[in-house]
Amino acid sequence: MTDLRLAFLSDFADALDFIFNTREAQTGGVEVGGLAEVLDFTWEHVKISAVATGIACGVAIPVGLGLGHAGKGELLAISISNVGRAVPSLALIAFFVAYLGVGFTNVTLALVLLALPPILTNTYVGVRQVDRDVIDAGRGMGLRPDQVVRRIELPLALPSIFGGIRTSAVNVVATATIAPLAGVLTLGDYILSANVYGQDGRLAGAMLVALLAIAVELFFAAMQRLAVPRGLALQQPAG
Amino acid sequence: MLAQVEIRERSGESCIARNDFCPGWIVDNFDRYTDPLVEHVFLTVAAVACGFAIAFALAMLARRQRWLVGPIVGITGVLYTLPSLAVFFLLLPITGRGTTTALIALTAYTLQILFRNIVTGLDNVPADARDAGLGMGLTDRQLLWRVELPLALPDIVAGLRIATTTTVGLATLAVFAGAGGLGEQIVTGSNITFKTGVVAAGGLAVLLALALDVVLLTVQRLLTPWRRAQPA
């Protein structure tokens, strides 16, 4: 029993060693592992995730605000998340690789498609949940429709919008792990190319991807809390 | 009719050679997807069933000890955040390669969705219904099984539907844990550039998600006859 426990602990220790010290690749010749390479892959991972999530926000938030303000397209805005959930991320990436080829742009496009639905749905729902009385009050004060969107509906929908971004970002970071299948070297390369990096590299990759996902989740959870307008925060002291 | 089939088969081969999308090939080679599909269904159903059993037990615990809700949501939240692919390999030194590892990772992912929906469902039970049950002299156990759970069923099934659909998608990654499934037809060899194969495997996963969703909706309808009796 003790042996078993020690055995798997030493696996994790070896994985840590892989992260901090370079070593010769399984295939020989080149050096792999070490902090410099880990940071390179992490940067690529964060970069493609951030670009994809950013583009998805740029598309989904305006569309969600527009649909929500007009109260139109409810079926589309709500059901797009359900349809999106049913499409496996691996199949989506594979589809882009097979039909458009490998590379940063194509993977980014696939990740954007993955990130769109939760942000669109949450923006729409967030806007629709705004108290009608507040909007009427704004109109009564002489706000134009675009001012109603920017100064009332958007701020009040922000917590819901950030909830959607958080879901999408975590999902995108998780999916960017399989990006090396499409020629983008993220942290997932440590996991998918064990023939190069070895068992230690693979376990190190799994640890790093897990940590990155948790970090992103915590970051957006904090953003979501900060996004609550002061007025709302005062109304809900427990929230 | 026969001639048509023949023409399609012959044009099918050159279609595959050109790596276009060839529906005829999928029809002719459907047998290579049956085993992965069965594995996929098993992984999904087993993971959601295990996840539901654990989440249900946790919800029953939290029903008596309300303070447990926060910590349980927090811990299952971490499990929900961890990418499945990472979990497969984090488990590797402990449980090795194979179906067990894939099942643990997929089950862990469903817990938060299921737990939250069961707790929400029980919270949404109208106090009047509970009072009426108590007034009829139901014990706590009877109250749970005859009043609270039936009324919470729509929320519980909503959770099961989300968990099932998501698990079908994640189970395509089970191939990396050595557990097979439809993902095998996408990542093994040079399959990822094989247009027809990618559409076939991905399409089957989407259809499976929709089919299981319809099954769950049907079960909900059968279990809640009183909702149908209400005028629309």
**Which positions in chain B touch A192 (Cβ < 8 Å)?**
176
pLDDT band at B16; cut points 50, 70, 90: confident
Ordered DSSP codes for B132-192:
HHHHTT--HHHIIIIIIHHHHHHHHHHHHHHHHHHHHHHGGGGGGGT--STTHHHHSTTGG
Q: How many residues does chain A have?
A: 239
The phi, psi pair for B157, rounded to 5°, reads -65, -35
pLDDT band at A4; cut points 50, 70, 90: low
* Mean pLDDT, residues A193-206 taken together: 89
* Distance spanning both ends of chain B, measured CA to CA: 48
Which of 67-96 (A) contact B at CB < 8 A?
A: 82, 85-92, 94-95
pLDDT at B25: 78
> Is a pLDDT exceeding 80 seen at residue B228?
no
- In chain B, alpha helices (H): 2-17, 23-28, 31-64, 69-81, 84-95, 99-123, 127-135, 140-142, 149-170, 184-187, 195-223, 225-229
The span from the CA of A216 to the CA of A162, in Å, is 12
Helix (H) or strand (E) holding B21: none
> Is a pLDDT exceeding 50 seen at residue B218?
yes
Chain B residues with a Cβ under 8 Å from any Cβ in chain A: 77-78, 81-90, 92-94, 162, 165-166, 168-170, 172-173, 176, 182-183, 186-187, 192-195, 198-199, 201-202, 205-206, 209-210, 213
pLDDT band at A71; cut points 50, 70, 90: confident
Q: Tens of pLDDT along B99-142?
A: 999 999 999 999 999 999 999 999 999 999 999 999 999 999 99
Helix then strand then coil, in percent of chain A rounded to 5, is 80, 5, 15
pLDDT at A236: 56
Lowest-confidence segment of A5-19, B112-126, B153-167 by average pLDDT: A5-19
Q: How far is A170 from chain B (nearest CA, A)?
A: 7
pLDDT at A161: 94
DSSP reduced 3-state for A239: coil
Nearest to A11 among B88, B93, B176 (CB): B93
What is the amino acid identity at position A124?
Y
The span from the CA of B179 to the CA of B92, in Å, is 13
> Is a pLDDT exceeding 80 seen at residue B173?
yes
* Mean pLDDT, residues A157-176 taken together: 94
The phi, psi pair for B186, rounded to 5°, reads -100, -40
> Is a pLDDT exceeding 50 seen at residue B204?
yes
Nearest to B169 among A86, A99, A192 (CB): A86
Nearest to A91 among B87, B166, B201 (CB): B201
Q: Tens of pLDDT along A74-114?
A: 888 888 888 888 899 999 999 888 888 888 999 999 999 99
Helix (H) or strand (E) holding A237: none
pLDDT at B230: 61
| Chain B contact for A8 (CB, 8 A cutoff) | yes
Structure-model confidence comparison of residues B217 and B21, the more confident one = B217
Q: Which residues contact A183 (CB under 8 A, 6 or more apart)?
A: A102, A103, A107
> Is a pLDDT exceeding 90 seen at residue B44?
yes
Chain B residue with CA closest to A10: the answer is B93
Q: Which residues contact B209 (CB under 8 A, 6 or more apart)?
A: A85, A86, B164, B165, B168, B169
Structure-model confidence comparison of residues A178 and B193, the more confident one = A178
Q: How far is B206 from chain A (nearest CA, A)?
A: 5
**Which positions in chain A touch B48 (Cβ < 8 Å)?**
none
The span from the CA of A49 to the CA of A108, in Å, is 8
Domains in chain B, please, with CATH?
A: 34-223 (1.10.3720.10)
Domains in chain A, please, with CATH?
A: 8-228 (1.10.3720.10)
Number of alpha helices (DSSP H) and beta strands (DSSP E) in chain A:
11, 2
The residue assigned the tokens 């999106």 is A84
pLDDT at A52: 97
ipTM beyond cut 0.95: no
The span from the CA of B133 to the CA of B144, in Å, is 10
pLDDT at A235: 64
Nearest to A210 among B82, B198, B210 (CB): B82
pTM beyond cutoff 0.90: no
Which has the closest alpha carbon to A201: A64, A16, A7, A69? A16
> Is a pLDDT exceeding 50 seen at residue A196?
yes
What is the amino acid identity at position B3?
A
* Chain A interface test: which of B81, B87, B207, B216 (most A C-beta within 10 Å): B81
Q: Which residues contact B113 (CB under 8 A, 6 or more apart)?
A: B80, B159, B162, B163, B166
Q: How far is B5 from chain A (nearest CA, A)?
A: 27
